[in-house]
Structure 1
Amino acid sequence: MRNATELLVQYATYHRDRRNIATHFIGVPLIVFAVGVLLARPVSPLGAWPVTPAGLALGLAAAWYLTRGLASLGVATTAATALLVLLGHWVSAHHGTAGWLAWGVGGFVVGWLIQFVGHYYEGRKPAFVDDLVGLLVGPMFVTAEALFALGWNRPLAQEIERRAGPTGYRDLHYAAAVGR
């Protein structure tokens, strides 16, 4: 079981172009929201609380985030993910089947298109291609990057940069000239 630092460093090695990181601030939340929409059905009553596949997935993801050894990041990632899933439930509850599918599938496809635009700038495939855990690390990475921008845990941000390298902008003209 890798800790948050190891996971973030590995994920960061696939995300050093600032344009790619910026696309992740849109694409990752949109994908999480869309999954929340799609998994908001069916709803099974369990006492006073309705149970959905999204709720179960959120519970498992929260348990994973909270056991990566960095409680503050686990709580923040769980809260951000829960907010997106709750918004997905709200959208699902207020639309018929066609609207539910349009929001869910449409958000999922658009989110991934945005991600792939970012990885074009990066010049690398998405991290999950090499390690499926990257699908869980994505929301944690975006949350950490947002928190770093607010001044949280500067030593962790520095350690990630030390091990993954600095962020910057990949020269697309040079990459095209040399075939990369």
Structure 2
Amino acid sequence: MTKLETLLSQYAAYHLDHKNILTHFVGIPLIVFSIICLTARAGIVISGVEITLALIIMLLSILYYLSLDRIFGFIMLVVFVLMYPFAYSIAQWGVAPWLSASIAIFVVGWVFQFVGHFYEKKKPAFMDDVIGLAIGPLFVLAEMVFMLGFRKDMEHRMLQEAHKQRELMDAKVVHSASTS
């Protein structure tokens, strides 16, 4: 398995219920968008070009995603390029409306996440491994690509490994409960 498949499998082990995955299609983009909104306000101008914290975060994210997979990394680049102007325009609002809107979007995104995990009966992946926060957007993208019928071999390997990891997670919970 590739590094990407390993990371997606680890994340997918917490996301095997289709209702949970569907809530992530809404929740994760909202959370990512809100973070871009919040960080697009902080920046400096260099040679007439404003470099915001959001641009730096997006650049680092894209470099990480490209290191995992060129196709997914490129698609995420396109998503960020399309998302940034909207987030930047919100960042130009007055302080109270910008902060209120950004935080509201963030909270709504997390509500979707936790509703999904209610269906899943599992805590979010990032609670066991913080890398889940970076892999979440890539997981949603991968799920979309799989739903469109592409990269089915990757999906098969990822799901096979995710089910194995889920069985181990469930066995640990049963073992912990029986020893308590």
Q: Which residue of 2 aligns with 1:51?
A: 51
Which protein has the bigger helix share? 2
Moved over 4 A (4+): none
Alpha-carbon separation, structure 1, partners of 2:113 and 2:162: 20
Listed as ranges, the gaps of 5+ residues in structure 1 are: 167-180
Q: Secondary structure at the match of 1:44?
A: strand
Listed as ranges, the gaps of 5+ residues in structure 2 are: 165-180
Contact 1:42-1:52 at 8 Å conserved across structures? yes
Task: Establish whether residue 150 from structure 1 lines up as the match of residue 176 from structure 2.
Answer: no
Alpha-carbon separation, structure 2, partners of 1:53 and 1:120: 33
Q: Secondary structure at the match of 1:66?
A: helix
Instruction: State the Cα distance separating 1:66 from its structure 2 match.
Output: 0.6
Alpha-carbon separation, structure 1, partners of 2:78 and 2:134: 14
Q: Secondary structure at the match of 1:103?
A: helix
Cα-Cα RMSD: 1.7
2:112 to 102, 111, 114: 114
Q: Secondary structure at the match of 1:125?
A: coil
Percent sequence identity is 39
The Cα offsets for residues 29-62 of structure 1, whole Å up to 9 and x where unpaired, read as 0000000110011231111321111111111111
Contact 1:37-1:88 at 8 Å conserved across structures? yes
Q: Secondary structure at the match of 1:32?
A: helix
Q: Which residue of 1 aligns with 2:29?
A: 29
Instruction: State the Cα distance separating 1:83 from its structure 2 match.
Output: 2.7
Paired letter, 1:109 = V
Contact 1:65-1:78 at 8 Å conserved across structures? no
Q: Which residue of 1 aligns with 2:71?
A: 72
TM value normalised by structure 1:
0.86
Question: Number of paired residues?
Answer: 164
